[in-house]
């Protein structure tokens, strides 16, 4: 008999997996994406839903992939940072932030993919967020390098770039 | 737009506001960290290692039974403390080096304290790696196997408080080192009274005012997000280690010395590292060794990683300081005396660096004009998590008492404490007042509106009926100028000019986030500006590989930002000479007749036309031109610049909550190497600094010795919503030697904030709180309210 399977959409591609030894019932979506698919942009620093570095977008909403079981993701659409277009305005704005007085939006970069995905989901929902809305939305992500001021600027810039692109 | 800093010398590249060179790689998730290389789908045959950790604060393993664990499907190997491979290993210390230099076992920095066994049987804190390590096909299987190991524990009495640990009859943690928990005097840290300048009794007798204070700095930890890990392969006689160790050559030395493998048979590869902050400052942790032994025994690649809980592994020393200051009525300090007790936890590691070494440096560079100075300090073993290195090592704890004494003295003498500071503090190679200190304090005071906002303690106006506001400051000497880096030995850089005039830059250092990679590229573009290149023409090699790279310049001391650029500045003449030598052959000239400017070669006698270097290189041999240079840092004693933090707080007298409204962080940098990166360090450092001030503390159950908050829910790191407005201020007042004369700044950005916050709290409520973190209950207690 064929073992029960797991089917999900990752970055626009349908993926089918056999559950069993390689996908244990206890496996999280975060581990599945990293270990099985090699999508290592997301990180798993805490594995406890406390830091946000594993954030991916599931059916349009930012989720902590270390808090989702792989089997729970069956039938859902997952977007990881690898699935963002190369010219995504959030990625560009995080990379380029250097406005005086705010520092850069990243240093070690380990938390960055999580911040980028949380910010991406925010801008999809609220295209022109205020600084306090940004702080609220991103307060589940930890950046120990402390680039919070630069990150907030980057999200503001991303929203401006996005607005310009949509009026073109 | 916020104000940009004004450079002392306008340069083409160095000092710029610009994006990081790794910005797009990191923002797009493409940057690879060690853990990303080790995922199962990329490493066939991968085994996962998990080590047994003590569930007790103090215990011995009488015996282990691994028979049941070995039978579990998926278990490949179990190594125990009784195995000859392990039992034969020398005792070690996780303090071989502070990262600055690469040292052998015999010459390790804290060789007096070789107090660690690799997989020993004596557990000294809850979480201590002891007894056994398992390699299995999956991490969960390894964890399950650990649960199946039957351990016969002998429970021992434990002690958590250093004063209790010094009392007669206290359980002794390291009987092999002596019959006391007090760390012995040693040649590096010095005697217990390790500074005794002038006559402290006379200095106090000469004073018109004498003030005492006691401060307590609690035990924060680094909390880099990239949990420490390694993947090791042992193939024939070669050991290859991929790791997020930030000290590739020191890790190689450690493995070579401990496992008796020649240095050229150990290869350590470190790509990007996700934050460091002092975590695992040294590459000499036992986990490298037992992972290597498992790889050797199984013949398969083995991955060991710390979980988040296990990453609460080492942190800052919990230090209590008693301080005494004596001064004349005009504010001239006559005596400064400190006594400290540091809780080093279960292992000495680098604690004596914090307790003795750092204060000695501070004395040299800041207390030179105070005639009578005394420091006495002791480190004490207890059954807590070991303390090791953390950003701002030793200076953070010292600043908590120093800033308290200066602030208190100002109040006692009715003199502005800023004036007390610049009247007294400076280094010995300069007359007072120290120009850097004056400028740092004046600038910070202006930015925070010191004169307007400062009032008598507790006498500011009430906000919303229950809140009181106040401002405070603290200052400290910076550190890590070139002359303090002599122990580092040679700093290496290799620059290659390719045939298309693009540059490959091997300035080996493991990039932990500090931005020194961007500093290096800017330094390279500046040094080779005669080629007319931009920073985009330079490729910086991001992975340190001991098989391919010269010795890495370790990211300690924040000094990589300028050390390698200084070498490049010195090497640029050699690059030009080699280029001219090759081009001269083509142009039928001697190199002396030619020169290069803005990417064009011309004859010095102005005959003939200018031709581009790129075009000529393509016509000449296509071999790249490579210049490898190494240079010892300059030893000229230039003192160091100063740093300061100014804080404005609002204290809710009903709830006890301290809200930091604003921080002004001022650094005299000598030369700003990369403005956006420097500001990111100033702003970013406040995440650790404010966390330590307000929330971060490891809490133990005193009854069981069990740590209660080894996770990021109960151990609270500031988030974006918790951070105040931070104003970074970059200055260039002091100047060191060399082309740039810069100074490391990133490490020090955490140093002054806790005291600035505490002084601001005092200014707000008029009651002193001298212990951090300042949690609401501490404020309410200070205000005499019941909790």
Domain of residue B48: give its range.
34-159+228-305
Which among B712, B721, B727 is the nearest to A50, CB-wise? B712
Return the residue matching tokens 């103090």.
Answer: B58
Residue B325's SS3 state is: strand
* A100: contact with B, CB 8 A cutoff: yes
Main-chain phi, psi angles of B352, to 5 degrees? -70, -20
What's the gap in Å between the CA of A168 and the closest CA on chain B?
Answer: 25
**Shared-domain flag, residues B561 and B669:** no
Q: What is the dihedral of CA B5, B694, B651, B647, to 10 degrees?
A: -20
CATH number of the domain that residue A161 is part of? 1.10.150.120
Calpha distance A62→B353 (Å, rounded)? 44
B706 to chain A nearest CA, in Å? 20
Cβ(B125)–Cβ(B710) below 8 Å = no
State the DSSP code for B44.
T
Nearest in space to B304 (alpha carbons), one of B148, B73, B118 = B118
Q: Give the end of a domain, one of A24, A52, A83.
A: A83
- Which residues make beta-bridge pairs with B325? B211, B336
Are B650 and B605 in a shared domain? Answer: no
Half-sphere exposure of B449 (CA within 13 A, CB side): 6
Q: What angle do CA B575, B578, B579 make, to 5 degrees?
A: 85
Q: Which position has the token pair 């350590």?
A: B268
Q: Is B728 close to A101, i.e. CB distance below 8 A? A: yes
B51 plus B81 within the same structural domain = yes
Of B238, B270, B305, at which residue does a domain stop? B305
Q: How many CB atoms lie within 10 A of CB B157?
A: 11
B40 has a chain A CB within 8 A of its CB: yes
pLDDT, residue B558, reads 86
Q: Is B486 helix (H, G, I), strand (E, B) or coil?
A: helix
CB–CB contact B225 A144 (8 Å): yes
Asked if A45's CB is within 8 angstroms of B308's CB, the reply is yes
Q: A108 touching B, CB under 8 A?
A: yes
Report the DSSP pairing between strands B238-243 and B266-270: parallel
Kindly list the strands in the beta sheet with B642-652, ordered across the sheet, starting from the edge strand earlier in the chain: B462-463, B467-477, B642-652, B658-668, B725-731
Considering the domain boundaries, does residue B378 fall inside one? no
Same domain for B559 and B589?
A: yes
Residues B598 and B522 in one domain: yes
Domain tally, chain B: 3
Q: Which of A104, A118, A136, A151 to mutate to test the interface with B (most CBs of B within 10 A)?
A: A104
The CA distance from B749 to B684, in Å, is 8
Nearest to A151 among B28, B513, B720 (CB): B720
Q: A133 exposed, middle or buried (CB, 10 Å; 0-12, 13-18, 19+)? A: middle
Q: What is the number of H-type helices and E-type strands within chain B?
A: 21, 31
CB B489 within 8 A of CB B101: yes
Specify if B72 maps to a domain.
Answer: yes
Distance of residue A155 Cα from the nearest chain B Cα, in angstroms: 12
The closest alpha carbon to A97, from A119, A127, A129, belongs to A119
Q: Is the pLDDT of residue A156 over 80?
A: yes
A65 touches chain B (CB under 8 A): no
CATH number of the domain bearing residue B674:
3.30.365.10
User: Is B226–A110 a contact, with Cβ atoms under 8 angstroms apart?
Assistant: yes
Last residue of a domain, one of B253, B278, B305: B305
Domain termination residue (choose one: A35, A50, A83) = A83
Q: Which residues of A touch B18 (CB under 8 A)?
A: 98
In a domain? residue B411: no
CB B373, CB B200: distance < 8 Å: yes
Q: Count of CB atoms within 10 A of residue B385's CB? A: 25
Which residues in chain A are contacts of B224 at CB distance < 8 A?
Answer: 108, 110, 144
**Mutation to test the B interface, candidates A109, A111, A150, A152, most B Cβ within 10 Å:** A109
Pair A65, A99 in one domain: no
Interface touch B711/A37, C-beta < 8 Å: no
Q: Pick from A51, A116, A149: which is nearest to B27 by CB?
A: A116
Please tell me whether residues B42 and B98 are part of one structural domain: yes
Among B263, B269, B265, which Cα is nearest to B243's? B269
B117 and B252 part of one domain: yes
DSSP state of B637: -
3-state helix, strand, coil in chain A (%, to 5): 40, 15, 45
Chosen from B22, B28, B750 to mutate, greatest number of chain A CBs within 10 A? B28
Per-residue tokens: B676: 């956006």
CB contact under 8 A, A26 and B719: no
Query: Is residue A73 domain-shared with residue A124, that is, in the same domain?
Result: no
Q: Are residues A151 and A115 in the same domain?
A: yes
What's the rounded Cα separation, in Å, for the pair B270 and B248?
6
Torsion of CA A138, A142, A147, A149, to 10 degrees: 30
Query: Out of A35, A46, A103, whose CB is closest to B683?
Result: A103
Chain B CB within 8 Å of residue A54 CB: no
Asked if residue A120 and residue A68 are part of one domain, the reply reads no
- What is the nearest CA distance from B654 to chain A, expressed in angstroms? 26
Tell me the pLDDT band of A120, cut-offs 50, 70 and 90.
very high
Same domain membership, residue B472 and residue B508: no
**Which residues 708-747 of chain B have a CB within 8 Å of chain A?**
711-713, 717-723, 726-728
> DSSP assignment, residue B711?
S
Q: What is the mean pLDDT of each run of 10 residues along chain B (787 residues)?
A: 93 97 98 92 93 98 98 98 96 88 91 94 98 96 98 98 98 95 94 97 98 96 96 96 93 95 97 90 84 98 96 95 98 98 96 95 96 98 95 97 98 98 94 96 98 96 95 95 92 96 96 96 98 96 95 90 95 96 93 96 87 92 92 92 98 98 98 98 98 97 98 97 98 96 95 98 98 97 92
User: Do the Cβ atoms of A104 and B711 come within 8 Å?
Assistant: no
Cα(A2)–Cα(B418) distance, integer angstroms: 77
**Numbers of helices and strands, H then E, in chain A:** 5, 5
A3 has pLDDT over 60: no
Which domain, by its residues, includes A143?
A: 89-167
Residues B769 and B758 sit within 8 Å (Cβ to Cβ): yes
Q: Give the pLDDT score at B97.
A: 85
Tell me the pairing of strands B302-305 and B47-53. Answer: parallel
In a domain, B401, yes or no: no
Cβ neighbours of A95 in B, within 8 Å: 19-20, 23-24, 26-28
For residues A50 and A105, membership in a common domain is answered with: no
Residues 562-601 of B with CB under 8 A from A: none
Token pair belonging to B569: 């500045």
A96–B723 C-beta distance less than 8 A: no
Quickly list DSSP for A125-140. H-SS--HHHHHHHHTT
Taking the C-alpha atoms of residue A1 and residue A4, their distance in angstroms, rounded to an integer, is 9
Cβ–Cβ of B29/A141 closer than 8 Å?
no
Contact flag A145-B719 (C-beta cutoff 8 Å): no
**How crowded is residue B297: how many other Cβ atoms within 10 Å of its Cβ?**
17
Do the Cβ atoms of A35 and B308 come within 8 Å?
no
d(CA B761, CA B658): 8
Last residue of a domain, one of B585, B600, B631: B631
Q: Across the interface, which of B1, B2, B515 has its CB nearest the CB of A107?
A: B515
Domain match, B527 and B594 both: yes
CATH number at residue A51: 3.10.20.30
Co-location of B577 and B494 in the same domain: yes
CB of B540 within 8 Å of a chain A CB? The answer is no
Structure token digits, residue B88: 């034969």
Q: What is the pLDDT of residue A5?
A: 76
Q: Give yes or no: residues A77 and A15 share one domain.
A: yes
Residue A125 · residue B41 · CB < 8 Å: no
Give the Å distances, CA to CA, from B405 to B426, B432, B474: 16, 20, 10
A77 and A110 belong to one structural domain = no
A37 and A62 assigned to the same domain: yes
Are B719 and A141 a contacting pair at CB < 8 A?
yes
Q: How many domains does chain A have?
A: 2
User: Does A107 contact B at CB distance below 8 Å?
Assistant: yes
Q: Is there a domain that residue B193 lies in?
A: no
CB nearest A51 (choices: B4, B225, B675)? B225
Structure token pair of residue B222: 């680094």
B274 touches chain A (CB under 8 A): yes
pTM of the entire predicted model: 0.97
Residues B434, B497 within the same domain: no
- Confidence bin at A20 (pLDDT 50/70/90): low
Q: How many CB atoms are closer than 10 A to CB B495?
A: 24
Q: Which two tokens stand for residue B445?
A: 């005071």
- Measured between CA atoms, the residue of chain A closest to residue B676 is A103
DSSP secondary structure letter of residue B485: G
- CA dist A14 and A24 (Å) reads 20
* A55 close contact with B: CB closer than 8 A: no
Euclidean distance between CA atoms B300 and B266, whole angstroms: 16
What pLDDT score does B41 carry? 83
User: Which 3 state secondary structure label does DSSP give B92?
Assistant: strand
Q: What are phi and psi of B740, to 5 degrees?
A: -105, -35
CATH number at residue B80: 3.90.1170.50
Of A83, A118, A152, the one marking the end of a domain is A83
Q: How far apart are CA A41 and CA B32, in angstroms?
A: 8
Say how far apart CA B305 and CA B37 lie, in whole Å. Answer: 13
Please answer whether residues B676 and A95 qualify as being in contact, where contact means their C-beta atoms are separated by less than 8 angstroms. no
Q: Is residue B760 part of a domain?
A: yes
Characterize A62-91 residue by residue with b for buried, 16 or more Cβ atoms within 10 angstroms of its Cβ, and e for exposed.
Answer: bbbbbebebbebeeebbbbbbbbeeebbbb
| Residues A115, A153 within the same domain | yes
Residues A53 and A106: their CA atoms lie apart, in Å, by: 13
**A46, A102: one domain:** no
**Chain-chain contact of A108 with B226 (C-beta, under 8 angstroms):** yes
Instruction: Give the C-alpha distances (Å, rounded to integers) separating B199 from B192, B206, B325, B333, B398.
Output: 17, 11, 13, 13, 21
Q: How far apart are CA B442 and CA A12, in angstroms?
A: 57
Is residue A142 within 8 angstroms of chain B, CB to CB?
yes
Contact A114, A45 (CB under 8 A): no
Residues A155 and A138 placed together within one structural domain of the fold: yes
C-alpha span between B375 and B190 (Å, rounded): 11
Give a yes or no: residue B294 inside a domain.
Answer: yes
- Are residue B465 and residue B508 in the same domain, yes or no? no
Q: What letter would DSSP give residue B356?
A: I
From B724, B759, B213, select the one nearest B458 (Cα to Cα).
B759
Say if the ipTM goes beyond 0.95.
yes
- Are A70 and A131 members of one domain? no
Q: Chain A residue closest to B2 (CA)?
A: A101
| pLDDT of B281 | 59
Let me know if residue B391 belongs to a domain: no
Q: How many CA atoms lie within 13 A of B701 on its CB side?
A: 11
Q: At A80, list the tokens.
A: 């990881």
């Amino acid at each position: 008999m064929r073992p029960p399977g797991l089917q999900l959409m990752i970055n626009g591609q349908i993926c089918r997996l056999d559950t069993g030894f390689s996908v244990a019932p206890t496996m999280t979506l975060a581990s599945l994406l990293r270990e099985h698919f090699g999508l290592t942009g997301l990180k798993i620093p805490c594995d406890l839903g406390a830091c946000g570095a594993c954030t991916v977008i599931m059916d349009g909403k930012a989720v902590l992939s270390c808090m989702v079981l792989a089997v729970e993701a069956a039938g859902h659409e997952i977007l990881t940072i690898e699935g963002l277009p190369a010219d995504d305005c959030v990625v560009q704005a995080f990379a380029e932030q250097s406005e005086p007085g705010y520092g850069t939006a990243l240093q070690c970069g380990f938390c960055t993919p999580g911040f980028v995905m949380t910010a991406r989901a925010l801008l999809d929902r609220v295209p022109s967020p205020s600084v306090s809305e940004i702080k609220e939305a991103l307060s589940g992500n930890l950046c120990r390098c402390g680039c919070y001021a630069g990150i907030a600027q980057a999200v503001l810039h991303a929203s401006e770039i996005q607005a310009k692109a949509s009026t073109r | 737009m916020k104000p940009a800093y004004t450079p002392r010398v306008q340069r083409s590249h160095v000092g710029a506001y610009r994006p990081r060179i790794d910005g797009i790689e990191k923002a797009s998730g493409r940057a690879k960290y060690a853990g990303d290389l080790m995922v199962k789908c990329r490493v066939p045959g991968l085994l996962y290692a998990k080590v047994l950790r003590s569930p007790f604060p103090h215990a011995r393993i009488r015996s282990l039974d691994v028979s049941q664990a070995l039978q579990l499907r998926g278990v490949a190997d179990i190594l125990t403390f009784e195995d000859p491979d392990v039992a034969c290993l020398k005792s070690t210390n996780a303090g071989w080096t502070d990262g600055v230099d690469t040292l052998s076992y015999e010459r390790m920095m804290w060789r007096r304290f070789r107090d660690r066994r690799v997989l020993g049987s004596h557990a000294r804190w809850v979480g201590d790696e002891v007894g056994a390590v398992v390699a299995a096909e999956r991490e969960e299987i390894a964890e399950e196997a650990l649960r199946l190991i039957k351990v016969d524990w002998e429970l021992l009495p434990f002690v958590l408080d250093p004063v209790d640990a010094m009392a007669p009859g206290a359980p002794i943690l390291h009987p092999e080192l002596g019959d006391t928990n007090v760390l012995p005097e040693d040649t590096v840290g010095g005697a217990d009274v390790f500074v005794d300048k002038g006559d402290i009794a006379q200095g106090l007798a000469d004073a018109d005012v004498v003030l005492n204070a006691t401060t307590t700095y609690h035990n924060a930890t680094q909390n880099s997000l990239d949990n420490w890990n390694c993947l090791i392969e042992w193939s024939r006689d070669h050991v290859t280690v991929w790791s997020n160790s930030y000290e590739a050559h020191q890790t190689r030395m450690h493995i070579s010395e401990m496992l008796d493998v020649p240095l050229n048979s150990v290869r350590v590869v470190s790509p990007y590292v996700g934050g460091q902050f002092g975590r695992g400052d040294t590459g000499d942790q036992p986990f490298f060794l037992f992972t290597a032994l498992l790889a050797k025994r199984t013949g398969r690649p083995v991955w060991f990683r710390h979980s988040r809980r296990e990453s609460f592994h080492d942190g800052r020393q919990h230090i209590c300081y008693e301080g005494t200051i004596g001064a004349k009525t005009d504010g001239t300090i006559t005596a400064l005396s400190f006594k400290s007790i540091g809780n080093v936890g279960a292992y000495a590691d680098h604690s004596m660096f914090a307790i003795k070494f750092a204060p000695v440096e501070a004395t040299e560079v800041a207390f030179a004009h105070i005639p009578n100075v005394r420091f006495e300090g002791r480190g004490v073993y207890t059954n807590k998590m070991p303390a090791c290195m953390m950003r701002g090592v030793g200076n953070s704890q010292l600043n908590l008492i120093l800033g308290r004494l200066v602030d208190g003295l100002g109040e006692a003498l009715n003199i502005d404490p800023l004036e007390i500071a610049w009247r007294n503090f400076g280094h010995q190679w300069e007359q007072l007042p120290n120009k850097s200190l004056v400028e740092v304090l004046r600038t910070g005071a202006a930015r925070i509106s010191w004169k307007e906002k400062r009032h008598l303690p507790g006498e500011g106006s009430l906000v919303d009926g229950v809140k009181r506001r106040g401002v405070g400051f603290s200052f400290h000497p910076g550190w890590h100028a070139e002359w303090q880096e002599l122990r580092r030995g040679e700093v290496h850089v290799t620059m290659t000019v390719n045939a298309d005039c693009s540059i490959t830059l091997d300035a080996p250092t493991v990039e932990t986030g500090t931005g020194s990679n961007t500093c290096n590229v800017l330094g390279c573009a500046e040094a080779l500006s005669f080629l007319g290149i931009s920073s985009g023409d330079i490729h910086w090699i991001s992975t340190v590989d001991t098989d391919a790279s010269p010795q890495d310049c370790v990211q300690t001391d924040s000094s990589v930002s300028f050390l390698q650029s200084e070498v490049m500045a010195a090497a640029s003449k050699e690059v030009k000479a080699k280029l001219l030598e090759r081009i001269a052959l083509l142009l039928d000239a001697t190199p002396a007749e030619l020169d290069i400017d803005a990417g064009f070669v011309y004859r010095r006698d102005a005959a003939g036309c200018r031709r581009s270097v790129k075009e000529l290189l393509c016509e000449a041999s296509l071999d790249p031109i490579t210049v490898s240079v190494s240079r010892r840092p300059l030893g000229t004693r230039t003192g160091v610049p100063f740093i300061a933090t100014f804080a404005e707080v609002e204290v809710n007298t009903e709830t006890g909550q301290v809200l930091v409204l604003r921080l002004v962080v001022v650094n005299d940098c000598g030369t700003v190497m990369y403005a956006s990166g420097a500001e990111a360090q100033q702003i970013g450092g406040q995440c650790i600094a404010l966390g330590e001030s307000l929330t971060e503390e490891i809490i133990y159950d005193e009854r069981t010795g069990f740590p209660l908050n080894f996770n990021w829910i109960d151990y609270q790191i500031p988030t974006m919503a918790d951070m105040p407005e931070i104003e970074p201020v970059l200055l260039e007042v002091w100047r060191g030697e060399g082309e740039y004369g810069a100074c490391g700044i990133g490490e020090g950005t955490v140093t002054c904030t806790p005291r600035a916050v505490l002084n601001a709290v005092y200014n707000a409520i008029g009651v002193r709180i001298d212990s951090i973190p300042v949690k609401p209950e501490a404020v309410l207690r200070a205000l005499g309210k019941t909790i």
